[in-house]
Homo-oligomer: A and B are copies of this chain.
Amino acid sequence: MNELIDELRAALGERHVLVDGDLSAFEQDWRKRWRGRALAVVKPGSTAEVAAVVAACARRGVGIVPQGGNTGLVGGSVPDDSGTQVLLSLTRMNRVRSLDAANSTMTVDAGCVLQHVQEAAAAQGMLFPLSLAAEGSCTIGGNLASNAGGTQVLRYGNARELCLGLEVVTPQGEVWDGLSGLRKDNTGYDLRDLFIGSEGTLGIITGATLKLYPAPAAVMTALASVPTMEAAVSLLQLAQSRLGPGLTGFEVMGELALSLVHKHFPHLPRPLPASPWTVLLEQSDAQSEAHARGLFEALLETAFESGLVSDAAIAENIAQSHAMWHLRESIPLAQAEEGLNIKHDISLPVSCIPAFVAGTDAALQAALPGVRLVNFGHLGDGNLHYNVQAPEGRSAADFLREREAEANEIVYDAVVAHGGSISAEHGIGALKRDELAQRKSPVALGMMRAIKRALDPQAVMNPGRLL
């Protein structure tokens, strides 16, 4: 292996090939659930250098783990503990290559931090709408490799829908220049979407052309108390028909989720009294703030009159909007304060969500008495973060060790029964690989494995992840 290290040093320069010292920033995942050991951490500065690394590793059958901001939640971007895998960090490739305002596109290196991509678009009066909690450190390449979701999927789609073209280094170390600023291109198989969401197992995304949108004239937020999940779903339908594409966010928060926020962060404002469910609505308007406010007021009045909503508050200004979003974003942090929990990032047809929640809550309470269900998420996309917290006063670590498998089985069985997905936006990685192998249709798994063998016959790309 010394020969490989020498070759990597010759290709990238001594200081971009790390083999000792504290490499935990690369070897440990964000949740601290996985800690691996890399043969080397390499930091190429260009697509050609990525290709050189891959070619050198492929020649020796050495596995490569691509990594962006290392903010993934499923253990997909850290090496295993064998010490045989090369960790390839894209973070030095962080250049905005070009922005074409008349075509509403920009082309960026894969290692660009998401927030920088957003800012580069905003500097031209445009919007790159992908937005998620880790945006200050996650990279666009990682967002695409994991098909990230976030808070504006309802209107703008997942990372997949925001990408027009890719540059990829193949498992053979070739460069596919699939960068493209085209809205329509029917020249063969959709390789772009095959790489998007493949979690680094088919090649390494090194660049991307992204879709931009005109920045809205106004963005406005409201909170609404709703009595039941059925009412939340009805409110979604009403809001979609009234606001059309102006409805850019529709989040739901269960009573327990918000109570944990108020418990652990008591200084945060409480715009509304406690309610079984609280909905956060976000509206983006091409016209004006006054226009958006008028639509929100009319919508919420109708919802109030028809009993869907018992109370509501429209943000008066940006600060209040941020405060409303801050409540929503504080839920995972409050959960962490409360102790370890079992996370389920699931999606369902929106129409099935009330029955799923009622049935699964009951099944979990029956099997695990006293268990606390912290339920929140992107209801507009059918995506719940349906998290299971230990009963009050019980050791969270003990509870997880003893009951995690049982809780997962109850939740995932119910998800599958309702036509849902066991991974809505976080991906598979190492965490859900075995679950996927059991639950995905054998026909689909067969095709996925055939594609993996066809494109990466040596199995050097992110081994042990996803498949």
Contacts and interface: CB of A to CB of B under 8 A. Distances in A.
Interface in A311-354: 347-352
B382 A177 contact: no
Interface in A347-375: 347-352
Interface in A285-317: 285-287, 295
A162 B190 CA distance: 15
A256 B277 CA distance: 60
Given A191-B448, A286-B246, A383-B184, A175 B443 contact: yes
A34 B371 CA distance: 66
Given A103-B349, A105-B349, A193-B194, A182 B421 contact: yes
Which has the most chain B C-beta neighbours within 10 Å: A146, A183, A240?
A: A183
Nearest to A126: B241
A59 interface: no
Interface residues of A, number: 95
Interface string A69-111: 0000000000000000000000000000000111111000000
A191 B447 contact: yes
Nearest to A246: B286
Interface string A240-271: 11111110000000000000000000000000
Interface of A: 100-105, 125, 146-147, 149, 153-155, 157-158, 160-161, 170, 174-178, 180-191, 193-194, 196-198, 202, 213-214, 216, 233, 237, 240-246, 284-287, 295, 347-352, 378, 381-383, 419-428, 432, 436, 440-441, 443-445, 447-448, 450-455, 466-467
